Structure 1
Amino acid sequence: MSVKFRFSSIADMLQKHAQNRSDEKCLYYPKKNQSDSYASLTFKQFNEVTNHLAKRFSNIIHQKETNKNPVVCLLANSDVDYLLTIYALFKLNVVVFPLSIRNSDAAIKHLLEKSNASYLFYSKAFSSVATTFDSIINLHQMEELNISELLDYKESSFKPEIDTDEIDRICIIFHSSGTTSFPKPIRLTTRYLFGWFESFASEMDDRFWSDDDLVLLLLPLFHVAGFGTTFIMFYVGGACGLPLGDIFPPTPKQIIKSIEYTKVTKVCTVPLFLQQLLRLLKEDENNGFKMLARLRFVLSVGAACSPDICKQLTEHGVKLIIGFGSTETGFILVSCYETNNKDQWQSLRKLKGRESNLSFLPLDSDNQIYELVVNSQDPFLAPEFKSKKFYSIGDLFKEEPVGSGNYTVQGRADDILVHMSGEKTNPLPIELAIQQCPIVEHAVVLGHQRLHCSVLIELNSKETSKLEHSQIEKQILTAVENANTNAPAHSHIAPTLIKILPLDKHLPVTNKGNILRKQVYNEYHSEIEQIYEQFLNQSNFNSNHAHDNQQESWTKKNICDYLQETVAEVLHKPIENFNDHSQSLYHLSLDSLTTLQLRNKLCQKFGFLDQNIIFEYPTIDALTDQLFAIVNNQQPRQSDDPQHYQQTEEIIDKYINLMATHTNRKRQITNSDHLRKRIFLITGANGSLGSQTLLQLLNKPQVTKIYCLLRGPDAHNRLRADMELRKQDTAVLDDKTRIIILSTNFDDDQLGQTTNIYQQLQREVTDIIHSAWKMDFNLTINDFDRECLKGLYQLLKLAATS
């Protein structure tokens, strides 16, 4: 496929826009020292500022450099200075390599060496990391840019250097997770970057990205999709916007304020930010969702977006589009946005600009599961992957419905974990590091489609028999901490996300000792869910237990001292690093994982605290003032509502009294044949968990009958429809002697059944599985009682009399 590009080079693109669109805005960014409002640059200003910077950088690079195209690495926060630096370096004919600030020191060293980098440009915030590499690379600490001053300079005489083969020159490197211990550098050409726009040719009548768009970018610039979106908008002559705030990532409130900027037409983000937004949007449901619904679309990339998030957005009129691709390929698939079906986000199709070079190859004899591959002749494939006939993406798909050309993602062919943030973790080196501990037999790192990693550990029974329980825990904790050292920050495992299995439990492995991951998820599903539930809700647990919040003992000074000590402990850094109490903790490497750990520790001391307290008060000084106000009752806790406490106590008392008046008439079963047979009662069989449970039970010969209780009328048809929607086998429902489907009413003492049927349940049921539980955390206390607790009580009563 031959593609005629609009420009001959990146410098040519910026120069022509500066001439032909001189007064049109191309970039919106937070004002310096006034980060809650926007400043902007026109194409002419952007070109001129990057010319001045290129001239400045040329004095640093070329006076030492003999290599024609040296690699220049960047280590800094994603802000306007970072973006301007990248485009300025493009004009010097160098290869730019943005490094993730979440990489470990060992990973950065590996990338510097593998890319044969000549320079490391870094900001002051990362000087302690950068200076550890002064023996292997030229260092340059970047000054904070004064953009206004640069604009006041007279027009630059700088002329960009352009290669004759500029289109196919390596101009930038991004790194992916790879399949080795460290991230892998992926070298990309100017052709590849131009392909980010050309891949969307013919989409929306060539208006998927247009010159009247202002796209808000909620992705870091060291992420290929983050930088690539800026490039698309500059290519087409549109504008991009960086989120408001002093530092990336922005808080949910800053995201909303950024979106409220009336000129924003589209948003490009990862699912994590959409999840964080939902809570705030629901506070003002009428206006909150309208703000997103007015956009032309919201594009979610980088990771799978949960069905719950997608449904909530689309049901409120938000045009949600899912983009799919990789660092090696760029965008290649997109959700079926043309249809009016609100569930269109579930299916992906080939981008029209790439479809001729994409193939779905069947992996099994039934042609049900497909592997997506890219033809090596694809003009936008990264050059190092063109040596073989095909390049495999590594993800698996299913065509639904068959023959439609629409596909749903089934998972990854390899073991890479894709987090909700879009970041990826290679679990193998972490597992190997943990398994170096002599008391560890096997370890499996988990975290796919979750925000953080966790680990299940199987102990070596022989080695652990020599140790006390406290010694075992200490050795395991040390092993995990050592593994964290060489892992990127987003892959770190918190102590509360470590699960040590009992000695009689074993992880499923092959004969060669390789972990069978899918089997792990199946066998230890409940344990995995419990790990994350306890971690995410630990602070709520702590608030129900005694804590050290004694009003008279807390002064501002000892709160401040305690915060400095605790932050140092959580981040595993010397306490002296945090002497500047006015500095943002996020500048000092606090991230989402350590934020949760820090909040959990604070809740142990101060009781329940708002989930966003550290995001809203990110310095030790600000957090000290807020905590001091809370302990002195000058500032309310968000959920500290006495009326809710009173209602909760009344509900608890109600059920205690009900149970006290209930006579336990449990029968003694003596029929040994009956003991060998199991008759189940399941609630919520029309849910994803309940339907899977139903199918699993039907595979067990000892299960002779299953009662399915569903809320509301027409239970049988609703269950069938929900199973069809999940592509499950509905033929099992035809065996009406083994599956009995009943409509239920949990408010009723007999669960909405006649006396005869209820007594039949009492006689026959041996097991109850209750999965009809409302997972809506916005329910009021009384709603929770009506929707959940009442039904639980009725089932307990049934169990007690069966």
Structure 2
Amino acid sequence: MSGAKLAKSTPEELNTLFSHSDFFIDLHHVDTIAEAFELRAKYTPKQVYMLFPSLNTYVPATFSEVFDGIEHCTAEWSIKLSPLIEQANATGVKPCVALLADSNPTYIVTCFALMRLNVIINLISTRASTAGMVHLLQETDSKAIIVGQAYEQHAARVREEVGEETVQLFSICEIHEIAGKHATKSYTPFCEPEPSTSVAFVIHSSGSTGLPHPIRLSNSYMINNANSGPKYGLDITSPGGVFMQVAPLFHVLGFLYAMGRAVLQNAPSAFPLTKTLLVSDNNLLLSLELAKAQALLAVPSTLDNLVKYLQQVPARWNVLSNMEYGICYGGASLGRATAEVLLAHGVPLRNMYGCTETGILGFGERTLSVDNYASVRFVKDLNIVLEPREDNVFELFVPRSHPNASEYVFTAGQDLYATKDFVRAIPGLKDYYELVGRSDDILVHVNGEKTSPLILEEIIERSPLIRKAALFGAGQLYTSLVVELDPSAKSVPIYDIVEEVEQSVSNANKVAPKHSRILKPLVHILPFDGPTIPCSHKGNISRKNANQMFASVVEAMYNRFATESKPHAPVTNGTNGTPDTNDIDFPLKHVQQRIQQMAAYLLQVEPDTLNDSKATFMDFGMDSIHIVQLTNAINKSMGVNITQSLIYEHPSINDLAQELAQIHEKGSSVPTVPLKVDAVK
């Protein structure tokens, strides 16, 4: 077989459909996204599917070109996975294959190839821990892992944990390696009677409540949600307009827009010009400019950083203000201060609300008003249920009949799915609401990631010197901690208390998701004669009271951390106030070794494990928190004046060392103090 059922519509109907520039393909035309791509290759072969990053520019890829690559890739994976598919066809159980790789063109082509083979794609985050990935493979009964080169060692460890006889391991097939390899491009997919409603994809939660939770999604879910814009009269871009997305493909937003909206509508997408998940502010602006993007999709933390950067480089504001359709944001609430700056520079904002389980539930209007930028209006025909609570606040439930929700989040006999979100009706704006919180204790960070405080607090409270620990971080990028000491600690020297608290935090960080880790500067130990952490009669922390009581303490911690995270000014030894570096020993090899040592310390690994000269810091496992710490360490130990963007733009040890050496030779922001690894401590 060399193709799925092509369409549910006649050729005449499809010709009429594609004669309009604002068309969208829905479940009346196809059952699956793979079928939709084949339709686009047949009826709109020369239209651009996506702008693929290539060095420092973009290459437009048409549906015909990409589909040809998909067909070759499908034939290749049909051979590799044939025993698995044959067994599945014999048993009638749809097979599941995990995918762990960077978000790039090869990832996209691989996804569509697996779709055409009709296997369930288990999309694994590249940030997933070993325990988290083992859990996901076991929960989904994944029989194989397709892995990118950067994650092969990690996948091998996971396979060993699961059982090598249980899971096969395959390296991802690069597009150029299989081009022209299969002349016939024939393949045999898994056969099933209900392709639109059966499980087709698994996208997991971030693991905020412990281990990540697999969320099963169908083709109908993807098609309905990807078409939410045109179905409900929302113009995300003009027909054919480029949409820039800063979201990885294993995230539901990234997948919906790159694999769904870009196929189902005349709506090409583009990714930033970067090889990693972390993109510098300058790189993002350059990408928007080169792609001529009409709109940007981002989480609030990306916008916070972008605004801070543009305040230092105001001449670049025109890149955002020139985007006709502005910025769509989702995943978390956008802070008013950031919104005010964006709106003041003429950048329209549009809020999107939903979650992986329920799909897209509502949109805000595209606005330049600070009064309603955070508001959303729920789509009326989704039949969302708002249960009144207090003070014009409602708890939000989604009915089983809701077409955008995953069919698989409802248990037998369950008619309503509790989102655990509270919304408040906005006075003076009929049918508009704003998100005000959750019905549980989950901390929702500014980037949409979530932290479950209970597990981490319990670990910290295991210390005999600690009576109570309370985590904070809602609306912030990082998690902070307030510690109440046990009365018995009064007889313990202060240095021993600090050491015990740090060890307890370290114990909690060992089990915490990366985005939930607690940094040392964001820990506050309450004095013995000071306030105590408010608790209920059951011993549970009263979150609302704690947030009010420690608001100034927590705010001071974040402000201090933000100030200390800024680059240090160069130390001046010269008589004229300029850096004196004539006597500094600064060979390139020495700088490379020091950066390697600092990175190893932060990652808690041996320096020799970071010897790969071509690997990036992100390949080694660093995230945005590590980059902040590494930036501070370099500035402190070398007396330089660099920003996090420099590390993103020179993301390997060798590249960064060479850049620092060049800075030294030019005499700007040069090292004036001895290099020392202790700077990261």
Name the SS of the counterpart of 1:226 in structure 2.
helix
Q: 1:10 aligns with which of 24, 29, 33?
A: 33
Q: Is the 8 A contact 2:207 2:513 kept in 1?
A: no
Match of 2:44 in 1: 21
TM-score, structure 1 length as denominator?
A: 0.73
Match of 2:480 in 1: 454
Give the length in aligned residue pairs. Answer: 626
Return the alpha-carbon distance in structure 2 between the equivalents of residues 328 and 262 of structure 1. Answer: 32
1:404 is displaced (CA, Å) by: 1.0
1:41 is displaced (CA, Å) by: 2.1
Q: 1:525 aligns with which of 547, 551, 561?
A: 551
- Look up the equivalent residue of 2:599 and give its one-letter code: V
Match of 1:392 in 2: 418
Per-residue deviation, residues 140-187 of structure 1 (Å, max 9, x unmatched): 242461348626864623465553201111001111247742221111
Return the alpha-carbon distance in structure 2 between the equivalents of residues 498 and 409 of structure 1. Answer: 28
1:334 is displaced (CA, Å) by: 0.8
Q: 2:102 aligns with which of 64, 67, 77?
A: 77
Return the alpha-carbon distance in structure 2 between the equivalents of residues 45 and 173 of structure 1. Answer: 27
Match of 2:656 in 1: 623
Q: Is the 8 A contact 1:80 1:242 kept in 2?
A: no
Q: Is the 8 A contact 1:377 1:386 kept in 2?
A: no
- Look up the equivalent residue of 2:550 and give its one-letter code: Y
Match of 1:488 in 2: 513
Name the SS of the counterpart of 2:214 in structure 1.
strand
- Look up the equivalent residue of 2:66 and give its one-letter code: F
Q: Is the 8 A contact 1:440 1:457 kept in 2?
A: yes
Q: 2:195 aligns with which of 166, 176, 187?
A: 166
Match of 1:560 in 2: 592
With over 3 angstroms needed to count, the CA separation of the structure-2 counterparts of 1:303 and 1:592, relative to structure 1, is same
Is residue 2:328 matched to residue 1:299?
A: yes
Q: Is the 8 A contact 1:5 1:194 kept in 2?
A: no
Is residue 2:436 matched to residue 1:406?
A: no
1:274 is displaced (CA, Å) by: 1.9
Return the alpha-carbon distance in structure 2 between the equivalents of residues 473 and 286 of structure 1. Answer: 46
Q: 1:589 aligns with which of 618, 621, 635?
A: 621
Q: Is the 8 A contact 2:73 2:173 kept in 1?
A: no
Match of 1:507 in 2: 533
Return the alpha-carbon distance in structure 2 between the equivalents of residues 589 and 309 of structure 1. Answer: 29
Unaligned runs of 5+ in 1: 639-802
Cα root mean square deviation, aligned: 2.8
With over 3 angstroms needed to count, the CA separation of the structure-2 counterparts of 1:260 and 1:447, relative to structure 1, is same
- Look up the equivalent residue of 1:133 and give its one-letter code: V
Q: Which moved more, 1:381-390 or 1:522-531?
A: 381-390
Is residue 2:630 matched to residue 1:607?
A: no
Q: Is the 8 A contact 2:300 2:329 kept in 1?
A: yes
With over 3 angstroms needed to count, the CA separation of the structure-2 counterparts of 1:162 and 1:48, relative to structure 1, is farther
Return the alpha-carbon distance in structure 2 between the equivalents of residues 481 and 99 of structure 1. Answer: 26
1:522 is displaced (CA, Å) by: 1.2
With over 3 angstroms needed to count, the CA separation of the structure-2 counterparts of 1:340 and 1:559, relative to structure 1, is closer
Match of 2:10 in 1: none
Match of 2:77 in 1: 57
Match of 1:634 in 2: 667
- Look up the equivalent residue of 2:289 and give its one-letter code: E
Per-residue deviation, residues 82-137 of structure 1 (Å, max 9, x unmatched): 22222221112211111122222222222222222222222221222211122324
1:195 is displaced (CA, Å) by: 1.1
TM-score, structure 2 length as denominator?
A: 0.85
Name the SS of the counterpart of 1:166 in structure 2.
coil
Match of 1:598 in 2: 630
Match of 2:401 in 1: 377
1:608 is displaced (CA, Å) by: 4.7
Is residue 2:612 matched to residue 1:576?
A: no
- Look up the equivalent residue of 1:53 and give its one-letter code: C
1:446 is displaced (CA, Å) by: 1.6
Match of 2:7 in 1: none
Name the SS of the counterpart of 2:468 in structure 1.
strand
With over 3 angstroms needed to count, the CA separation of the structure-2 counterparts of 1:249 and 1:544, relative to structure 1, is closer
Unaligned runs of 5+ in 2: 1-25, 574-578, 672-681
Return the alpha-carbon distance in structure 1 between the equivalents of residues 503 and 336 of structure 2. Answer: 37
1:5 is displaced (CA, Å) by: 3.1
Match of 1:146 in 2: 175
Per-residue deviation, residues 723-744 of structure 1 (Å, max 9, x unmatched): xxxxxxxxxxxxxxxxxxxxxx
With over 3 angstroms needed to count, the CA separation of the structure-2 counterparts of 1:246 and 1:341, relative to structure 1, is closer
Report the structure number with the largest CA radius of gyration. 1
Q: Is the 8 A contact 2:567 2:642 kept in 1?
A: no
Per-residue deviation, residues 237-283 of structure 1 (Å, max 9, x unmatched): 43111211222222112211111125422221112222222244445
- Look up the equivalent residue of 2:651 and give its one-letter code: P
Name the SS of the counterpart of 1:407 in structure 2.
strand
1:392-791 paired onto structure 2 within 5 Å: 392-401=418-427, 404-462=430-488, 464-465=489-490, 467-505=492-530, 506-540=532-566, 543=569, 551-611=583-643, 612-631=645-664, 634-636=667-669
Percent of pairs identical after alignment?
26
Q: 1:38 aligns with which of 53, 58, 61?
A: 58
Per-residue deviation, residues 359-414 of structure 1 (Å, max 9, x unmatched): 222112x5x11112111211221123334222122221111116711112212222
With over 3 angstroms needed to count, the CA separation of the structure-2 counterparts of 1:104 and 1:545, relative to structure 1, is farther
Return the alpha-carbon distance in structure 2 between the equivalents of residues 629 and 310 of structure 1. Answer: 38
Return the alpha-carbon distance in structure 2 between the equivalents of residues 605 and 411 of structure 1. Answer: 41
Q: Is the 8 A contact 2:442 2:453 kept in 1?
A: yes
Return the alpha-carbon distance in structure 2 between the equivalents of residues 131 and 152 of structure 1. Answer: 28
Return the alpha-carbon distance in structure 2 between the equivalents of residues 13 and 236 of structure 1. Answer: 10
Match of 1:106 in 2: 131
